[in-house]
């Protein structure tokens, strides 16, 4: 095999072009699952995969698979992948670097004349982001068999549309029970991603290799109070749903800052009220709360504290409520041997490397249930992510792609 040369300019052109596929005005990227932008994005990726000679398949929840067949087709493949959906007001690198970067890694190997023995498969996961249904990693949860078909069928978006509706919209073939991966489908899974945190940049490091992914959880709260005229409804006896919601957001902050662990993080990322008129007392409030920690013990302690606070606040304010745990996941422990392999490959290329924790979640959280898994992190500007000024340089991305390509070469040979 000739030396591997990543075409960083071609990849950067593709990342820039892909960022124009958005529901919002550039530079803002928004690509919600099965929106028109998401469907266009899927087509863009499919074209690049076809150009690279990869064999495409889509499963019943819209996960896309692009396979470079190895000479020993019967062997479990080496998998990689990430997502192309983007939360509202996102940037252009989250997920996309792991998808377009993986295609570039494959093209790099092809140009060098590498012929894999094991197949190499890129997975573009459905709805890593929770925007549509409130739950993240929908595609990988189903691949890993972690989400029951009943719970999947019960998912609704904010307009009441279910997964079945959106699956049809997305042209996903077959029944949902065909999504779960067979045992031994993959020999390994390695996801390339921007760090989404400040560590690599601050320590001037090229590459992070992920040893553990923090444990996420999400709560959905619906509050019903009593509305009325803002002028004529006197303050005593009001049952204002927003005020209960506002107290809940403070209870989330209180819980997340008092576990004794700096790793507990709590965020109320969604708070919507009805009727949403300045001269009307809010009679409904809808909240989604994101709570995470590297340790389940402190995450769960905070979760219980928040749930207790919700009951107390709503009882005191005479607010009816429903409280639903959308997901409460354990952390993922990455495969120690695979971590060593990838870290060794990166150091062998003279890149500076750190083994680290991922505080963000990824489809790797659930792929780790299926096969040995790790992630390759690259630095990003000030750790910014989930915002339009998210940035990694072409040179930083190039190093990540190089490590991914060398990893394929080593694992698939
Ligand atoms: C992924 O997008 C996350 O929220 O960690
Ligand atoms: Mn994200
Ligand atoms: Mn991501």
Residue 350 burial (CB < 10 Å; 0-12/13-18/19+)? Answer: exposed
Instruction: Decide: 225 and 240 in contact? Cβ < 8 Å.
Output: yes
Contacts of 213 (CB under 8 A, 6+ apart): 331, 332, 334, 357, 358, 361, 362, 364, 365, 368, 375
Please write the tens of the pLDDT for every residue from 229-276. 999 999 999 999 999 999 999 999 999 999 999 999 999 999 999 999
Looking at the CA of 288, name the nearest ligand. Answer: 1
Cα within 13 Å of Cα(298), Cβ side: 17
- For residue 290, give the ligand 1 atom closest to its CA: 4
Beta strands (DSSP E) in 163-315 are 186-194, 207-213, 215-224, 228-229, 265-274, 280-281, 284-293
Looking at the CA of 361, name the nearest ligand. Answer: 1
**Residue 365, pLDDT score:** 98
Please write the tens of the pLDDT for every residue from 18-62. 999 999 999 999 999 999 999 999 999 999 999 999 999 999 999
**Residue 128, pLDDT score:** 98
- For residue 292, give the ligand 1 atom closest to its CA: 5
**Residue 266, pLDDT score:** 98
The residue whose C-alpha atom lies closest to atom 5 belonging to ligand 1 is 360
The residue whose C-alpha atom lies closest to atom 2 belonging to ligand 1 is 129
Distance set, CA 28 to CA 22, 126, 318, 391, 393 (Å):
8, 21, 41, 12, 18
- For residue 361, give the ligand 1 atom closest to its CA: 5
How far apart are the CA of 84 and the centre of ligand 3, in A?
A: 8
How far apart are the CA of 290 and the centre of ligand 3, in A?
A: 16
Looking at the CA of 194, name the nearest ligand. Answer: 3
């Amino acid at each position: 095999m000739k030396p591997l040369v990543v075409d960083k300019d071609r990849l950067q052109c593709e990342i820039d072009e892909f960022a124009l596929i958005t529901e919002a005005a550039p530079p803002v990227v928004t690509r919600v699952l099965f929106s028109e932008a998401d469907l266009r994005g899927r087509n863009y990726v499919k074209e690049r995969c076809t150009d690279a000679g990869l064999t495409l398949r889509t499963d019943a929840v819209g996960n896309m698979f692009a396979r470079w067949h190895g000479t020993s087709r019967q062997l479990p493949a080496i998998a990689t992948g990430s997502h192309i959906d983007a939360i509202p007001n996102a940037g252009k690198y989250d997920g996309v670097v792991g998808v377009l970067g993986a295609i570039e890694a494959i093209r790099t190997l092809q140009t060098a004349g590498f012929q894999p023995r094991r197949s190499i498969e890129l997975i573009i996961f459905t709805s890593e982001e929770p925007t549509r249904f409130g739950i993240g990693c929908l595609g990988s949860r189903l691949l890993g068999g972690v989400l029951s078909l009943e719970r999947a069928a019960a998912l609704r978006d904010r307009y009441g549309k279910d997964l079945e509706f959106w699956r049809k919209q997305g042209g996903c073939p077959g029944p949902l029970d065909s999504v779960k991966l067979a045992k031994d489908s993959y020999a390994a899974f390695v996801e390339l991603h921007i760090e989404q945190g400040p560590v690599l940049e601050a320590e001037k490091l090229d590459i992070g290799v992920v040893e553990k992914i923090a444990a996420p959880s999400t709560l959905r709260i619906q509050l019903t109070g009593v509305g009325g005229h803002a002028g004529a409804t006197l303050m005593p006896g009001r049952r204002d749903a927003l005020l209960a919601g506002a107290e809940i957001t403070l209870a989330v902050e209180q819980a997340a800052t008092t576990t004794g662990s700096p790793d507990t993080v709590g965020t109320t990322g969604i708070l919507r009220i009805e009727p949403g008129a300045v001269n009307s007392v809010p009679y409904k409030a809808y909240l989604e709360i994101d709570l995470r920690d590297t340790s389940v013990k402190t995450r769960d302690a905070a979760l219980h504290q928040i749930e207790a606070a919700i009951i107390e606040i709503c009882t005191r304010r005479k607010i009816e409520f429903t409280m639903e745990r959308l997901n409460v996941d354990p952390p993922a422990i990455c495969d120690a041997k695979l971590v060593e392999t990838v870290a060794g490959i990166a150091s062998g290329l003279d890149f500076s490397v750190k083994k680290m924790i991922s505080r963000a979640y990824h489809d790797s959280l659930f792929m780790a249930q299926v096969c040995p898994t790790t992630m390759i992190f690259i630095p990003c500007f000030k750790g910014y992510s989930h915002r339009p000024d998210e940035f990694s340089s072409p040179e930083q991305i190039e190093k990540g792609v190089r490590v991914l390509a060398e990893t394929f070469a080593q694992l698939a040979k």
